[in-house]
């Protein structure tokens, strides 16, 4: 593959990513992706045989970037409290920079479950270790005892939800866009506070 080719392919992926994220698999149009990439529609099929293939290329890349952050932090050499603090900060920041990805993944997850199953690639995210650490620190009286599958889901829920349900939340609390940005930022510390307080013995 020559340089021109690689560049084109990259342009296509960028364009496809944008369109697919905005409209989902069914809502996206090959022509629109081509326009966005500034190329002929046939080129899409030249580089990626079909819409499915193109989507897969986009989705696998997007989905792949969702887990490493979690995994890395959870595996770090830190106490639970510090891990949580680190995780929330990193995760919310990541979401802040890619605010539409969670809704895209959730959408794909629920309307094309089969398509998603290809990428489950055993996330290698082993919650057993986290549970061990929790049990350990709990027996030392540092935190109260909780189940990892609840703690982790609780934290991730609170991080992600304001991004996927933004219009609702924004409306209920009567915020304009600027205020919502600030709200999202302020949630970092609020979530950390909320969780740590809850873990206090």
Partner DNA sequence: ATTACTTTTGACCACATGGTTAAATCATAC
Partner DNA sequence: GTATGATTTAACCATGTGGTCAAAAGTAAT
Q: Which does 1 bind (CB under 5 to 8 A by kind): a copy of itself, DNA, none?
A: DNA
DSSP annotation of 77: S
Q: Which residue of 30, 103, 138, 142 would you call a contact of a copy of itself, by CB under 8 A? A: 103
Distance CA(105)–CA(79), nearest Å, equals 31
Residues numbered 35 to 64 that lie near DNA (CB under 7 A) are 39-43, 45-46, 49-52
CA 41 distance to own-chain centroid: 30
Distance CA(22)–CA(28), nearest Å, equals 8
DSSP annotation of 173: T
78 binds a copy of itself (CB under 8 A): no
Distance CA(31)–CA(28), nearest Å, equals 9
Q: Which residues contact 173 (CB under 8 A, 6 or more apart)?
A: 183
Q: Which does 150 bind (CB under 5 to 8 A by kind): a copy of itself, DNA, none?
A: a copy of itself
Q: Which residue of 30, 69, 78, 138 would you call a contact of DNA, by CB under 7 A? A: 30
Q: Which residue of 100, 135, 137, 142 would you call a contact of a copy of itself, by CB under 8 A? A: 100
Q: Which residue of 1, 3, 4, 120 would you call a contact of a copy of itself, by CB under 8 A? A: 120
Q: Where do contacts with DNA occur on this chain (CB under 7 A)?
A: 1-5, 8, 28-31, 39-43, 45-46, 49-52
């Amino acid at each position: 593959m020559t340089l021109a080719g690689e560049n084109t392919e990259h342009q296509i992926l960028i364009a496809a990513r944008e369109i697919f994220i905005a409209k989902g698999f069914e809502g996206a149009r090959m022509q629109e992706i081509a326009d966005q990439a500034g190329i002929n529609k046939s080129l899409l099929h030249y580089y990626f045989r079909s819409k499915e293939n193109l989507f897969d290329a986009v989705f696998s890349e997007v989905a792949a970037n969702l887990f490493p952050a979690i995994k890395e932090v959870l595996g770090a050499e830190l106490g639970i409290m510090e891990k949580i603090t680190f995780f929330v900060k990193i995760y919310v920041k990541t979401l802040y920079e890619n605010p539409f990805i969670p809704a895209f993944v959730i959408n794909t997850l629920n309307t094309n479950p089969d398509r998603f199953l290809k990428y489950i690639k055993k996330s290698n995210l082993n919650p057993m270790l986290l549970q061990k650490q929790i049990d350990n620190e709990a027996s030392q009286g540092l935190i109260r005892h909780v189940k990892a599958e609840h703690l982790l889901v609780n934290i991730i829920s609170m991080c992600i939800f304001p991004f996927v349900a933004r219009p609702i939340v924004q409306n209920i609390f009567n915020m304009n866009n600027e205020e919502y940005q600030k709200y999202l930022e302020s949630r970092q510390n609020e979530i950390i506070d909320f969780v740590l307080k809850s873990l206090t013995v």
